[in-house]
Structure 1
């Protein structure tokens, strides 16, 4: 049975020289739940959809299509073995550390019921310098991208309460093949895949749809 192992938030942002905003909320730690999960406003105008979670750079994180970030404990364990360092729940900046469900093969637009909240898969996490500096790993952006275990961002379709131990139920799977992994490849290393993202409709953020159209215009 897929479950939430931990619900993680950054109680506050902390200064970070390497972060574009001069601070970061990546250091998320497990908290006692449940907490309220709510829809977020447009990117740049809103932070996290998780109650009590701090985000520093709203231009890059948070907002409707990045209201919640999830990562599988199974993938954390894989990285733990690869890096030979302990990785606690929340170490990758995820709000939800899960067990028993694969984020990489999830479809964009797939809907997960967690507690009383309804979340929709909206895309992969794209690694940045702040992530690399936080982990202290040289070449991390390239390595994380190549391995294709990005975790999944979610938008919130129905507000509700979610917490550790809550079952995760997939209540809808859309009729297309746009996985989180394909999305990651399309926007990082294989731009020829970008047009395929349009099959996911409005589950894809508007700025990514715009990127697809710009790329198509250049190609033609």
Structure 2
């Protein structure tokens, strides 16, 4: 049975102190029935999260227009439940939107998600960090997450509005075959994947410029 793409649950978080006096984090998000989304502007000097009321723990690496909303599939959380042997609640990866029936791993860069009147655009994959690893408490988490390539999708906000639990997600795919997994591999050092993204001319110009700089620096 094919599951219609839809919003399974929504989550939002506030900054809280981390054990040991580290940087506060908002990764521990709580369920909500609905939230407003808007373009938060630039990562530095903007509004942070694209979800009104959601907070960003480390604005140096998170938030801004290209990371306005984070979506993660329930199906991939179930995969991780089998790997680590314990349950993961929706929102447990710090995602704002837990989806059902959406394959974010192979979502094409730039595809549009229409959720009611809201329009979101797939921009970049999640790059796992130390905060995520500490939140999960699993050995070699960053490496395992990277190897699996089940990154979820960071989305920009094309048309703002209210997102509600249970809403259908209508997906409009662009006419290319570069998906988030390819972009993720490119951003984590895969030279062939980086060339593929750059040559296809897909994704945000800043992301492509980062890849070009990386290739030039490596003489690749």
Cα distance, 1:204 vs structure 2:
2.5
Instruction: Measure the CA separation in 2 of the matches of 1:19 and 1:107.
Output: 39
Instruction: Measure the CA separation in 1 of the matches of 2:84 and 2:183.
Output: 25
Q: How does 1:56-205 map to 2 (within 5 A)?
A: 56-170=57-171, 172-198=172-198, 199-201=200-202, 203-204=203-204
Cα distance, 1:51 vs structure 2:
1.4
Q: What residue number does 1:38 align with?
A: 38
TM-score (norm. length: structure 1) = 0.92
Is the 8 Å Cα contact of residues 37 and 163 (structure 2) preserved in structure 1? yes
Instruction: Measure the CA separation in 1 of the matches of 2:159 and 2:21.
Output: 32
Instruction: Measure the CA separation in 1 of the matches of 2:115 and 2:156.
Output: 13
Distance 1:18 1:126, change over 3 A: farther
Cα distance, 1:119 vs structure 2:
0.3
Unaligned runs of 5+ in 2: none
TM-score (norm. length: structure 2) = 0.92
Q: What residue number does 1:24 align with?
A: 25
Instruction: Measure the CA separation in 1 of the matches of 2:5 and 2:208.
Output: 31
Runs (4+) of structure 1 exceeding 4 A deviation are 17-20
Instruction: Measure the CA separation in 1 of the matches of 2:130 and 2:21.
Output: 7
Instruction: Measure the CA separation in 1 of the matches of 2:201 and 2:107.
Output: 12
Cα distance, 1:32 vs structure 2:
1.7
Distance 1:109 1:18, change over 3 A: farther
Instruction: Measure the CA separation in 2 of the matches of 1:93 and 1:58.
Output: 15
Unaligned runs of 5+ in 1: none
Instruction: Measure the CA separation in 1 of the matches of 2:195 and 2:20.
Output: 33
Q: What residue number does 2:209 align with?
A: 210
Whether 2:3 is the aligned partner of 1:4: answer no
Instruction: Measure the CA separation in 2 of the matches of 1:17 and 1:115.
Output: 39
- Give the count of matched residue pairs: 214
Is the 8 Å Cα contact of residues 201 and 208 (structure 2) preserved in structure 1? no
Is the 8 Å Cα contact of residues 107 and 180 (structure 2) preserved in structure 1? yes
> Of 7, 14, 21, which aligns to 2:16?
14
Cα distance, 1:216 vs structure 2:
3.5
Is the 8 Å Cα contact of residues 185 and 193 (structure 1) preserved in structure 2? yes
Instruction: Measure the CA separation in 2 of the matches of 1:94 and 1:18.
Output: 24
